[in-house]
Amino acid sequence: MSTIDLAVIGGSGLYKFPGLQNAERLAVDTPYGAASGDVVLGDFAGKRLAFLARHGESHTLPPHRVNYRANLWALHSLGARRVIGVNAVGGIRSDMGPRVIVVPDQLIDYTHGRATSYCDVEGAEVKHIDFSEPYTESLRRPLLAAARAAGIAVIDGGCYGATQGPRLETRAEIARMKRDGCDLVGMTGMPEAALARELTLEYACLALVANFAAGCGDEAEISIEEIFAHLAAATAEVPRILAAMLK
Ligand code: HPA
């Protein structure tokens, strides 16, 4: 039996998990190098929750330098089997404006040059995971139900387009992504979701919309200050959703 009921990977704006009691910090060695920082393990809503800040607790790691393999390996090696990735995103679809929360059900990967697989190591067994459904439905469902129970509006489904960053996209890139069927754009959704699947972890994404993506809103430019203000508002709902899920 896992001693961890839920693991949370916090994205931009979520560097510490509010309300985590009796927290202990664990520095985990992994065969893939260092994780983004210590895993913080504690009690939350009467359950054991493990938290890891994806960009580091002082946000020093840009999306393309996050060691996604080490992060998921660290959580798995501690006994986590269910992982929620919290991700800041830009909204492409018109109903996905700032502060909206989405639990996507599909993704398209536009990233490059990242370590995308545990097979990418000399002598490792080659695995071709089924990734038709990139998120675990049996984790998406309780997440959505919990948000509803907590009275927090969330959108069920949407396609997350993962870009390389750290820059934001051009209007033409977003227009192309829209034609491809993307509803959201973020820089950290991949390879995290695929690596979770390789480790047979249950994995779902809680996407927090920080801004309309390039060309999708009224603004000629996207302001980083506004992104962080919207993110702070959406991030404040995350512990309430997860508390309802763990209850
Ligand atoms: N693009 C990519 N990633 C993001 C955005 C965006 O507009 N906003 C927040 N994360």
Question: In this predicted model, what pLDDT tens digit does every residue of 129-166 receive, in sequence order?
Answer: 999 999 999 999 999 999 999 999 999 999 999 999 99
Question: In this predicted model, what pLDDT tens digit does every residue of 53-67 receive, in sequence order?
Answer: 999 999 999 999 999
Query: Are 42 and 23 spatial neighbours (Cβ–Cβ below 8 Å)?
Result: yes
| 74 Ramachandran zone, left/alpha/beta (phi>0; psi -120 to 50) | alpha
Closest ligand 1 atom number to CA of residue 169: 1
Q: In angstroms, what is the C-alpha Rg of the chain?
A: 17
Mutate to test the pocket of ligand 1, among 93, 168, 173, 205 (most ligand atoms within 8 A of CB): 168
The whole-number pLDDT of residue 121 equals 83
Closest residue (by CA) to atom 9 of ligand 1?
Answer: 89
> Which is nearest to 224 in space by CA: 155, 166, 154?
166
Closest residue (by CA) to atom 2 of ligand 1?
Answer: 186
As a whole number of angstroms, the distance between CA 175 and CA 194 comes to 25
| 145 Ramachandran zone, left/alpha/beta (phi>0; psi -120 to 50) | alpha
Mutate to test the pocket of ligand 1, among 185, 190, 209, 235 (most ligand atoms within 8 A of CB): 185
Q: How far is the centre of ligand 1, averaged over its atoms, from the C-alpha of 159 (Å)?
A: 14
Per-residue model confidence as pLDDT tens for the chain (247 residues): 458 999 999 999 999 999 999 999 999 999 999 999 999 999 999 999 999 999 999 999 999 999 999 999 999 999 999 999 999 999 999 999 999 999 999 999 999 999 999 998 888 889 899 999 999 999 999 999 999 999 999 999 999 999 999 999 999 999 999 999 999 999 999 999 999 999 999 999 999 999 999 999 998 889 999 999 999 999 999 999 999 999 9
- Quick check: CB of 92 below 6 Å from ligand 1? no
- Report strand pairing: 184-186 vs 155-156: unpaired
Q: How far apart are the first and last CA of the chain?
A: 19
